[in-house]
Amino acid sequence: MENQLLNYLVKYSDEIRARLIKILEVFGILFGIFVIFRLQYISLFGYRFMFLYPDPYDNIGAQILFLLKAHTLTTDTTLLVLKPVDGVMADFYTCMAIALIISMPVIIYEVSKFIDPALKTSEKEMLRSIILPASLLFFAGAFVGI
Spell out the residues 6+ positions from residue 99 whose beta carbon is closer than 8 angstroms to its own: 27, 30, 31, 34
25: left (phi over 0), alpha (psi -120 to 50) or beta: alpha
Whole-prediction pTM: 0.81
Residue ranges covered by each domain of the chain:
2-145
Q: What is residue 23's predicted lDDT score, i.e. its pLDDT?
A: 97
Which residues of the chain have a pLDDT value below 50? none
Q: What is residue 49's predicted lDDT score, i.e. its pLDDT?
A: 92
Reported as half-sphere exposure (CB side, CA atoms, 13 A), residue 140 has a value of: 6
